[in-house]
């Protein structure tokens, strides 16, 4: 009987741990959205043959490089970029460092991809690289996205909340309109 009571207590603790871990995932993301600053990241043109994999949009961004004289950067190494905005209001990286920047400016944790050969330039990957869409909408979204790629008047970008070095992708837009809404309109 005592064993059964102990088993029950352990089971309840386990279930609380399971709920707590998944709850914590949500809490961390919501904290970034509520307390973070919203930035727009311009997306780069994609390979038209496979811009979508499975049920999510694979995102590639233009501003994934920054000047750096440091030649010791290693692939997959953690780094922090300070963010700024260009004249059109899109986020651009200002500088990169191995330590968390001090001060009030927004910064983002990234992973080093590679160092440019013969240039003081380093390439990195953002932590947000996919945007999930409902499977029936993906083909239509693909069509709209490809059209925006060839039309220079159209700009696609991702809206990302950034807080304390962490990021949450909120939406993907073309000329200010959500991709999901554009797909719904085209139905």
Partner 1 sequence: MSRRLKRELTTLVEEKVISPEVANDIAGFYEKKNQGSSSKIITIFGVFGALLISLGIILIIAHNWDNISKLSKTIMAFIPLVIGQLSCLYAYLKKPDNAAWKEGSAGFLFFAVAATISLISQIYNIPGNFSVFLLSWMLLTVPLVYIMNVSLVGLFYLIGITVYACEKGYWEYPLDQPFTYWLLLIIILPHYWKYFKMKNFGNFFHFYSWSIVLSLTISLGAFSQSHEEIMFVTYLLMMGVFYQIGQLDNFKERSLIANPFALIGSLGTIFILLMLSFNWYWEDLSNRLWEVSLLITSFEFISSLALAITLIYLLLKRHRHFVLSRFYLLEAAAFCIILLIIIGLFNASISIVLANILVLLVGINTIAKGAHVDSLVILNYGLSIIAALTVCRFFDTNISFVVRGILFVLVGAGFFAANYWFLKQRNKTIES
Q: Which among 95-103, 116-124, 127-135, 149-157 is the span making contact with partner 1, rule CB under 8 A?
A: 127-135
Q: Is 3 left (phi over 0), alpha (psi -120 to 50) or beta?
A: alpha
What track of x and - describes contact with partner 1 for positions 54 through 73 (by CB under 8 A)?
xxx-----------------
- Residue 177 token pair: 């309109």
User: 39, 131, 145, 157: which one contacts partner 1 (CB under 8 A)?
Assistant: 131
Establish if 169 lies at the interface with partner 1 (CB under 8 A). yes
Q: Where are the beta strands (DSSP E) in the chain?
A: 37-42, 52-53, 56-58, 65-67, 78-85, 91-97, 107-115, 121-125, 130-132, 156-163, 166-174, 177-178
User: 42, 94, 113, 127: which one contacts partner 1 (CB under 8 A)?
Assistant: 127
DSSP label at residue 165: B
Spatial separation of the C-alpha atoms in residues 164 and 100, rounded to whole Å: 9
The answer to whether the beta carbons of residues 46 and 63 sit under 8 Å apart is no
What track of x and - describes contact with partner 1 for positions 2 through 41 (by CB under 8 A)?
--x--xx-xx--xx-xxx-xx--xx--x------------
Of 91, 94, 108, 89, give the one whose Cα is nearest residue 162. Answer: 108
- Closer CB to partner 1, 70 or 135, in the complex: 135
CB of 45 to partner 1, least distance (A): 22
What track of x and - describes contact with partner 1 for positions 135 through 154 (by CB under 8 A)?
x-x-----------------
Interacting residues toward partner 1 by CB under 8 A: 4, 7-8, 10-11, 14-15, 17-19, 21-22, 25-26, 29, 54-56, 75-76, 127-135, 137, 168-169, 180
């Amino acid at each position: 009987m005592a064993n059964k009571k102990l088993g029950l207590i352990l089971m309840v603790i386990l279930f609380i741990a399971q709920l707590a871990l998944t709850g914590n995932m949500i809490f961390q993301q919501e904290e970034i959205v509520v307390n973070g600053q919203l930035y727009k990241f311009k997306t780069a043109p994609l390979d038209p043959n496979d811009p979508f994999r499975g049920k999510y949009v694979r995102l590639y961004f233009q501003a994934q490089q920054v000047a750096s004289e440091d030649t010791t950067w290693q692939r997959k190494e953690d780094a922090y970029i300070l963010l700024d905005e260009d004249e059109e209001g899109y986020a651009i990286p200002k500088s990169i460092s191995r330590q968390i920047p001090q001060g009030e400016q927004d910064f983002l944790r990234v992973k080093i991809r590679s160092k440019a050969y013969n240039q003081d330039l380093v390439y990195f990957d953002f932590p947000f690289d996919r945007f999930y869409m409902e499977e029936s909408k993906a083909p239509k979204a693909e069509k709209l996205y490809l059209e925006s790629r060839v039309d220079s008047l159209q700009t696609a970008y991702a809206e990302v909340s950034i807080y304390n070095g962490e990021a949450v992708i909120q939406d993907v837009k073309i000329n200010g309109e959500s991709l999901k809404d554009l797909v719904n309109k085209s139905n």
